[in-house]
Amino acid sequence: MNRDFDRKIDADTIVAVATPWGEGAIGVVRLSGPDSLSIGKKLFRFIQKPQKIETHRMYLGDVLDSNGKAIDRALFVFMESPSSYTGEDVVELQCHGGPLLLESVVLGAVSAGARPAENGEFTRRAFMNGKLDLAQAEAVLDIITSVTERGLLVSAGQLFGGLSGEIEDMKEALVLLLADVEASIDFPDEETEIISREVVIKESERILKRIEELLSTYRRGRMLKEGASVVILGCPNVGKSSLMNRLLGADRAIVTAEPGTTRDTVWDFTRINGIPLKIVDTCGIREVLGEAEREGVRRAWEAVSGADIILLVIDVTSEIGNEEERMIYLIEGGGAVKEGVATLVVLNKVDLLDVNEPEGKEDMRINEMEDLPFPYLFTSALTGRGIDDLRSEIRRLLLDEAGGGGAASDRIIINNARHLEALLGARRSLTEILNGENIYGPGEGRIKRRFEPELLAVDIRGALTSLKEITGEVGAEDVLDAIFSRFCVGK
C-alpha cells in the first residue's frame, strides 16, 4: 500500500466481494467512496424505480454486467455517509453467491469508475474516518479468525470498545497528571503547590497497577486466540511418539522399538474443551551421537521454549537418570521455558511393571516421585491405560491457563502482541517515574527522591504515547500497512 493512501481515501471509490470466495446462497459486492451511489445505479435496474433512493433501505431488481445485460436478480442497499461501516457512502449488491457472477459485478463496477479494493481497505477507511480505533479494527480480524468460543468473546469485547475504554481512562488520567506537572514547570514560584509528589506517586502507581493487570492476561488471551502448544519431551524410547498418537487418536508419529526414531519435531492438531491443541513430539534427549540428532535436540528445546504445557515422559520401569534430572532442572528454573508454563510428568509403560504386583511397583515409583517439582500420573501409551486421566489433566491445566469461567473470564483480556509491546512501553515509563535507576540509582526513582517535574513530564509523555499506539492515535504508516494487509480484500 503506498504512502498516498490517505489522499486516495478522499478521491477513490473502491469495490470488492465482501463474502467468502466460492459458491454460496448469498454473495455481496461492496462499494465505498464518494461515487458509490452513482456507480451502483449503473449496475442495477430497479423493478420499481424509486423517486429517491433512501438510505438503509433494500430494493429488489436486476444486476447488470458491464454491457448492461441482466445477470442476476438481487437486492440493492445504499448506506449514506457517515452512517456506514466505513463512514463513507456505501452500496452493497446482495446477489446469489456464484464466483463468476460476483466477478462480473466487480468488473462492471471497475468499468464504471471504481477501483479494486486493497486488503483490509474497507476497515482501514473505517479507522481513518473515526468509526473504529485501531484496537477495534484489529478485533474485526480476530473475530473472523477466531478458533475458540472464549477467544471469540474476547475479540467481540474488544470490538465493542472494552479495551479501548480501559486505555482511554488511563490516557485521560495521564493527561491530567501531565497538565499539573507542566503547570508546576511553567509557574515554579507559585506559593500554592500545584501538584505534590504524593499525588504523582499515587496516580502513577494506580495506572501502573491497571497496566500490570492487563499484561497478566496476555498469555491467556493468546491461548484463546491461537490455541495452545503441548510439547512432549523425554529421553529416547520412553514412548513419546506412542503417547502423541494416543492423544491424537491417530498414527501420526512413527513408532519403533529402536531408540532415536524421531529426529525432528513432529506435530498435529486436536481439540480439548474447544481449545485447539498443537501436540508436538520431539527428538529424544540424550548425549547426541551425530549432527542430525544434535539438530533434533536443539529443535526439541526450541519447541519447549514456546510451549504452554510440557509433558515430561519418563519410562516407569527405569530409574531417573542424569538426562532426566537435567531436563527437570532446565524446566524448573534453568531458563528453558517461559515463566509459569505448566509441566506434567507422565510415567509411561506402566503395562511393563511386574504383572503379579503392579500396585506395589507403582507405590514404589510414587515414593520416588515425591521430590519432583511437578505433578505426575501413570500411563500406558500401548494399552491406553491412563490416557483419559492425562486428557483430563491437560483439560484442567488449559482451563487454569485460559480461564474457566466466572468473574475472571469477564475481565478485559489482551491477545495482541502489538498491544503487549505498547503496554510494556507504558509500564517502563511509569516504572521509571517510581523506580528509575538511570539518574538516582536502584530504588531511587525520579519522584521518590526529589520532585523533578521536567523529567517527570518526559516519562508521563512516554507512557501516554505508548497507550496511544494501541488505539492508533500515533504510529507509523508501515505499522498500519502491516495490520491491514492481513485482512481479506473485501474487509
Chain segment 318-340, per-residue pLDDT in tens: 888 888 888 888 888 766 677 77
The CATH number given to whatever domain includes residue 396 is 3.40.50.300
Domain final residue, candidates 406, 429, 446 = 406
Query: Which segments are annotated as binding site for GTP?
Result: 237-242, 256-262
Domain final residue, candidates 406, 424, 439 = 406
Structural domain boundaries, residue 173: 134-217+411-472
Query: Which segments are annotated as binding site for Mg(2+)?
Result: 241, 262
Answer yes or no: do 247 and 342 share one domain.
yes
- Is the residue at 81 inside a domain? yes
For residues 12 and 8, what is the distance between their CA atoms, to the nearest angstrom?
A: 5
Region 69-89 average pLDDT: 96
| Cell output for 338 | 517461559
Region 160-173 average pLDDT: 94
Residue 250's pLDDT is 65
Answer yes or no: do 302 and 424 share one domain.
no
Region 129-150 average pLDDT: 88
Looking at per-residue pLDDT, the higher value among 223 and 64 belongs to 64
- By CB neighbour count within 10 A (0-12 exposed, 13-18 middle, 19+ buried), where does 363 fall? exposed
When the pLDDT of each residue in the chain is averaged and rounded to a whole number, the result is 83
Residue 362's pLDDT is 60
Residue 39's pLDDT is 97
Looking at per-residue pLDDT, the higher value among 203 and 363 belongs to 203
- Is the residue at 446 inside a domain? yes
- Amino acid 156 reads A
For residues 82 and 235, what is the distance between their CA atoms, to the nearest angstrom?
A: 63
What sign for the dihedral angle of Cα 331, 337, 343, 348?
A: negative
Query: Which segments are annotated as binding site for (6S)-5-formyl-5,6,7,8-tetrahydrofolate?
Result: 30, 92, 131, 491
Residue 456's pLDDT is 86
For residues 33 and 112, what is the distance between their CA atoms, to the nearest angstrom?
A: 13
Residue 408's pLDDT is 40
Answer yes or no: do 233 and 369 share one domain.
yes
Residue 363's pLDDT is 63
Average the pLDDT over each of 147-156, 220-229, 251-260, 396-405 and give the range with the smallest value.
251-260
Paired residues of 229 in beta bridges: 278
Q: Percent of the chain, pLDDT > 70?
A: 81
Residue 192's pLDDT is 52
Answer yes or no: do 319 and 187 share one domain.
no
Contacts of 342 (CB under 8 A, 6+ apart): 308, 309, 310, 397, 400, 401
Domain final residue, candidates 377, 406, 435 = 406
pLDDT at 143 over 60: yes
Query: Which segments are annotated as binding site?
Result: 30, 92, 131, 237-242, 256-262, 491
Answer yes or no: do 240 and 356 share one domain.
yes
Looking at per-residue pLDDT, the higher value among 486 and 426 belongs to 426
- Is the residue at 260 inside a domain? yes
What is the count of structural domains for the chain? 3
- Is the residue at 145 inside a domain? yes
Q: At residue 217, what are phi and psi to the nearest 5 degrees?
A: -95, -5
Answer yes or no: do 286 and 172 share one domain.
no
Answer yes or no: do 24 and 118 share one domain.
yes
- Is the residue at 94 inside a domain? yes
pLDDT at 398 over 90: no
Answer yes or no: do 319 and 377 share one domain.
yes
Answer yes or no: do 209 and 358 share one domain.
no
Residue 353's pLDDT is 78
- By CB neighbour count within 10 A (0-12 exposed, 13-18 middle, 19+ buried), where does 307 fall? buried
CA distances from 327 to 80, 324, 336, 394 (A): 63, 5, 9, 20
pLDDT at 55 over 90: yes
pLDDT at 16 over 70: yes
| Cell output for 407 | 468473574
Is the Cβ–Cβ distance between 91 and 78 less than 8 Å?
A: yes
Indicate the pLDDT class of residue 227, thresholds 50, 70 and 90.
Answer: confident
Answer yes or no: do 457 and 374 share one domain.
no
Indicate the pLDDT class of residue 341, thresholds 50, 70 and 90.
Answer: confident
Question: Could you report the per-residue pLDDT of 476-486, keeping only the tens digit for each?
Answer: 676 677 777 77
Answer yes or no: do 391 and 416 share one domain.
no
- Is the residue at 486 inside a domain? no
| Cell output for 466 | 505508548
Cα 345 to its chain centre, rounded Å, is 29
- Is the residue at 485 inside a domain? no
Indicate the pLDDT class of residue 122, thresholds 50, 70 and 90.
Answer: very high
Where in 339-390 does DSSP place strands (E)?
A: 342-348, 376-378
The CATH number given to whatever domain includes residue 421 is 1.20.120.430
Residue 222's pLDDT is 85
Residue ranges of the alpha helices (H) in 43-161?
Answer: 99-111, 121-128, 134-144, 149-159
Residue 377's pLDDT is 92
For residues 240 and 235, what is the distance between their CA atoms, to the nearest angstrom?
A: 9
- Is the residue at 489 inside a domain? no
Answer yes or no: do 141 and 281 share one domain.
no
